[in-house]
Structure 1
Amino acid sequence: MLNDAYLVFSDGASFEAVRVQCALGKVQAAKAASLSKGARVTIRGRVAGLMMDVLVRDCELVGQ
């Protein structure tokens, strides 16, 4: 995920155990660029596993 854009969803706690990290393609990254921190969005993707965070691939922003 080093060169991929991604969104991180969390509850904002300082020491939360699990976050959701959504990898975005170029088109979705352009859509996400207009988001502000704390914005409410709906996403759809494919869960790829757990590596400290829940990793979700092929994410789409389907609602804002």
Structure 2
Amino acid sequence: MMSVLYGIFVVFKYIFGLGALLALLGIGAMLVWFTLHLIVRFSLRNQPADRCLWLRQLFLETPNRVPS
């Protein structure tokens, strides 16, 4: 399995370049993050505040800012 993935990586790298491969991986990572954000937002909508707190903090809440 790893040899197949490595072969796809090598072919893609030589056809499109390493920059295109990194851009594609970055876009894929952003899509995964956005999908997880939507899943967490709609699944935690009616949940108690203390349940899955780390998910809520990771995806939904902004960090606390110190008042100036």
Is the pair's TM-score, using the shorter chain for normalization, greater than 0.5?
Answer: no
- TM-score (normalised: structure 1): 0.22
Greater helix share, structure number: 2
Which structure's residues are more often strand, by fraction?
Answer: 1
Higher relative contact order (CA 8 A, sep 6+): 1
TM-score, normalized by length of structure 2?
0.21
